[in-house]
Amino acid sequence: MNIQRPRGTNDILPEETGKWQFVEAKIRELCRRYGYQEIRTPVFEHTELFVRGIGEATDIVEKEMYAFTDRSGRSLALRPEGTAGVVRAFVEHRLDARSLPVKLYYLGPMFRYEKPQAGRYRQFAQFGVEAIGSIDPFLDVEMIMLPIELYRACGLDGFQVQVNSIGCPKCRVQYREALLKHLGANVDQFCPNCRRRIERNPLRVLDCKEEKCRALVGQVPLITDYLCLECADHFQQVKEYLDQLGIDYVLNPQLVRGLDYYTKTVFEITVPTLGAQNAIGAGGRYDGLVEEVGGKPLPAVGYAVGLERLLLALDQQAGRYYEEPRPDAYVAHFGGVTKAKAVEIVTDLRRRGLWVEMDYLGRSLKAQMKSADKLGCRSAVIIGESELERQIVKVRHMATGDEQDVKLDQIAAYLTADREEHGA
RNA sequence: GUGGGUAUAGCUCAGCAGGUUAGAGCGCCAGGUUGUGGCCCUGGAGGUCGCCGGUUCGAUCCCGGCUACUCACCCCA
């Protein structure tokens, strides 16, 4: 019986890891500049944390959690998103005692029990950022800028930023009422899904993709018309900063998020060419979550980027977006004493910081040269008996075919100079 | 959870209106040069034709079920 990887998971093979490392490097560099520090939290938490944090009635909690009971009967769950765990750690370790806001980022696997499709997997990687302890609208804007800068740094184009404010619990009471009044009038004209939503979470109706519902929703009151003074003012400032900084965005008063903890600013970044799963980043403010998880009432903002989707979008936009490093040299030998010498040379060169390959299968020189070519080695170092007698090696520059005799003790210097000259 | 598509070599895919030895290109290995890659030529290795069952003298091919992959819906990064 042959065992395959679990549904919705992916093996990232050596030829793929280069681009992951490329994106990860961009992320770490960006976070350094913006002053966000890495935090690593467990991939599983008490189920309760997600239920309370993300919201009981959300799809994520209702039907997508990898929840299980451990041997002692505790209910645990693989994290479906990153924010809840980070906030839990923030509260648990009293990070509120530090100077605020605390700015954190994370990078790692998340798990949701969903049916896989393009850009959606059961284990997927997210990069996310959280700033806890400030209500400054500029932080909201920072949260929108960070992913934009990240995409730019990676070479991504053609993404769209949508922004909205969904207010605070205070203004939502009024809005909910107005919305229900409006929807109630023609409740039976909505799709079955939305009829259910109207009862449980009317905001979600705005998000429905059914044409019938969209038409009905068109005339619905907008949340942005019901914001309380504080929320309206906050949103206004967010927009002003965005304009001031020349950030391209569109207002989408119907943008809602699938997690219950969001308040005020929410945003989503999409790549239209990606297909059904076109959101590559999303986030917003969550002013109530820290308290919900047991900490002091502290405001916070965050966002998350799906790395598989970002990579998908990058792959789509033709052209190589990252440089694959190549070996400096391939040391070819003929077995016997020449192999003994080759082993020595290889070890010495590696100790001097060069990336060096050699033959481990006792193959012909021709086959070794072929390998050198395949591996993209800059040079081939050939060591045969006649060379050994003269205390030299032949160094062949693979791109040009030029060959040069180099003294045994000069090889490292020669190769290093060659690398400087022809670039890494 | 719902609906559609697909499943043949490591990869991309042909194929057979059901007939006995299942093919190509690429990749891999070797030879064409007792010690030299890329181009070319020759040869080789590599397949339970996804799994189980049915129809049939006979199934990789037709039918059913299962599984996986895939796309879309729901939802989401």
Distance A276 CA to B71 C1' (A): 10
A400 touches strand B (CB under 7 A): yes
Domain span(s) for CATH 3.40.50.800 in chain A: 329-422
Nearby residues of A378 by Cβ (< 8 Å), 6 or more positions away: A326, A327, A328, A329, A397, A398, A399, A415, A418, A419, A422
Which positions on chain B have an atom < 7 Å from some protein CB?
A: 1-3, 28-31, 33, 35-38, 48, 68-77
Roughly how many angstroms between the first and final C-alpha of chain A, as a whole number? Answer: 45
Cα–Cα distance for residue pair A383/A386, rounded to 1 Å: 8
- Residues in a beta bridge with A403: A396
Distance A120 CA to B67 C1' (A): 21
pLDDT in tens, A133-153: 999 999 999 999 999 999 999
Task: Tell me the residue ranges of DSSP E strands in A112-209.
Answer: 123-132, 160-165
Whose C1' is closest to the CA of A279: which nucleotide?
A: B77
Distance A15 CA to B14 C1' (A): 28
Whose C1' is closest to the CA of A128: which nucleotide?
A: B77
For residues A325 and A355, the answer to whether their CB atoms sit within 8 Å is yes
How long a stretch of residues is chain A?
Answer: 424
A116 touches strand B (CB under 7 A): yes
Cα–Cα distance for residue pair A232/A225, rounded to 1 Å: 9
Q: Which pLDDT belongs to residue A191? A: 67
A66 touches strand B (CB under 7 A): no
Higher-pLDDT residue of A48 and A179 is: A48
Q: How confident is the model at residue A60 (pLDDT cuts 50, 70, 90)?
A: confident
Q: Which pLDDT belongs to residue A71? A: 93
Distance A369 CA to B33 C1' (A): 14
Q: What is the pTM of this model?
A: 0.90
Query: In the predicted model, is pLDDT for residue A225 greater than 80?
Result: yes
The DSSP string of A181-199 is HHHHHTGGGS-HHHHHHHH
Q: How confident is the model at residue A178 (pLDDT cuts 50, 70, 90)?
A: confident
Query: In the predicted model, is pLDDT for residue A86 greater than 60?
Result: yes
A207 touches strand B (CB under 7 A): yes
Identify the CATH number of the domain defined by range A14-168+228-317: 3.30.930.10
How many CB atoms lie under 10 A from the CB of residue A346?
19
- Residues A104-109 have a mean pLDDT of 96
Backbone angles phi, psi at A5, to 5 degrees: -65, 150
Question: In angstroms, what is the C-alpha Rg of chain A?
Answer: 28
Assigned token pair, A311: 């990579």
pLDDT in tens, A233-259: 999 999 999 999 999 999 998 888 777
Q: Which residue's alpha carbon is at the shortest distance from the C1' of B70?
A: A117
Distance A87 CA to B45 C1' (A): 57
Whose CA is closest to A36, among A108, A100, A129? Answer: A129
Q: Report the percentage of chain A scoring pLDDT > 90.
A: 67
Q: Which pLDDT belongs to residue A76? A: 94
A114 touches strand B (CB under 7 A): yes
Assigned token pair, A421: 């000259």
- Residues in a beta bridge with A38: A105
For residues A118 and A151, the answer to whether their CB atoms sit within 8 Å is no
Higher-pLDDT residue of A174 and A199 is: A174
Distance A127 CA to B11 C1' (A): 32
Cα–Cα distance for residue pair A368/A374, rounded to 1 Å: 10
Distance A370 CA to B42 C1' (A): 18
Distance A367 CA to B29 C1' (A): 10
A115 touches strand B (CB under 7 A): yes
Look up the ipTM and state it: 0.85
Nucleic strand B contact set for A 251-280 (CB, < 7 Å)? 257-259, 268, 275-280
Q: How confident is the model at residue A342 (pLDDT cuts 50, 70, 90)?
A: very high
For residues A182 and A221, the answer to whether their CB atoms sit within 8 Å is yes
Q: Which pLDDT belongs to residue A208? A: 63
Domain span(s) for CATH 3.30.930.10 in chain A: 14-168+228-317
> Residue A274 carries which side chain, given as an amino acid letter?
L
Whose C1' is closest to the CA of A58: which nucleotide?
A: B75
Backbone angles phi, psi at A291, to 5 degrees: -65, -40
Assigned token pair, A276: 């059904």
Hey, what CATH topology would domain A329-422 get?
Answer: Rossmann fold (3.40.50)
Distance A116 CA to B53 C1' (A): 29
